[in-house]
Amino acid sequence: MAGTTVANVAMVEAVTMALAWEMANDDSVVVLGEDVGIYGGVFRATAGLAQRFGDDRVIDTPLAETMIAGLTIGMAAQGMKPVAEAQFMGFIYAMVDHMICHAARMRHRTRGRLSCPMVLRTPFGGGIHAPEHHSESTEAIFAHMPGLRVVIPSSPSRAYGLLLASIRDPDPVLFLEPKRIYRLNKEEVEDNGEDLPLDVCFVLRDGTDITLVTWGAMVKETLEAADKLAEQGVSAEVIDVATISPLDMDTIIESVAKTGRCVIVHEAARMCGVGAEIAAGLADAGLYHLHAPVKRVTGYDSVMPLYKMEMKYMPSVKRILNAVDEVLEVS
């Protein structure tokens, strides 16, 4: 095993650290995608890997997302652990047929004879002044697909631990990286190869008056809203969902049983978003804990606007606080 170090890194650097650790300790792990090798990826998430591990394990592919997905699934089915990259989530739709019809069904289709231990990484979400199809948050499409895990980190440490767990998982994982917070802040991450659990929420802040549920880049605004609520004497519990499929409703219900109120925050459009599934789960199994209706603070049911308007599309601290006020007004 490689020696451990502690580094003060941003999220994108934590992704690189996790890839490097697993490649150094498992020869079956390979990285592939457009410009991931010599260039180090469009966001530099694979910088230095080709020089360290060679072009037979860090593979620059043609600009052909359908081919990347098919190649990745074939490698996984034959015992390798490929980690593929789609440069933006807006390019992922050419991969959907392979992901849904093959990757997600491999274990079931072969009655357990084959599995598909692959990861598809892709940057997603708005906030960097990119065109609309580079900026959307369409995680709910994939959360609806049985057999496919959908994981979204919200900090450098969770990016490191959750990516390691995703690579080690015997089934396919879609690993969505919120690019707005790729370099937003740094934290100390120990490069020790320790993963974090999948399929569980993380309670980032304890509270007693209201539960704020979120994931990805929206963790930033949600924590800021919790700070402002604390100044007003309101104790908000903040939950980072992290794995949106399968969804850990137990942690959310346990929190709402304590607080009696819930606001869900996500960047994606409102209609059929993951927030709607969480609200339905609370109605199904947590209704008698609620003192007020569940509120959602989301993107709008429209195409992501261009950069002059994109921050107005995404939930703000003010919108979160307004939703909390509405919930707290219900006695």
The catalytic residues are 134
For residues 236 and 229, what is the distance between their CA atoms, to the nearest angstrom? 7
Q: Which residue is associated with the tokens 């490929």?
A: 82
- Tell whether omega for the bond before 178 is within 30 degrees of 0, i.e. cis: no
End-to-end CA distance of the chain: 57
Token pair in block for residue 269: 């459009």
Q: Write the secondary structure of 203-234 as one string of H (helix), E (strand) and C (coil).
A: EEECCCCEEEEECCCHHHHHHHHHHHHHHCCC
Amino acid at 60: D
For residues 63 and 79, what is the distance between their CA atoms, to the nearest angstrom? 25
For residues 182 and 145, what is the distance between their CA atoms, to the nearest angstrom? 27
Pairing of strands 29-33, 6-9: unpaired
For residues 86 and 69, what is the distance between their CA atoms, to the nearest angstrom? 9
Token pair in block for residue 155: 């900090």
Amino acid at 27: D
**Chain CA centroid to CA 174, Å:** 8
31 phi and psi angles, rounded to 5 deg: -120, 135
User: For residue 132, what are the contacts with CB-CB under 8 A and spacing of at least 6?
Assistant: 90, 303, 304, 305, 306
Amino acid at 104: A
CB 152 within 8 A of CB 123: no
CA angle 298, 145, 261 (to 5 degrees): 35
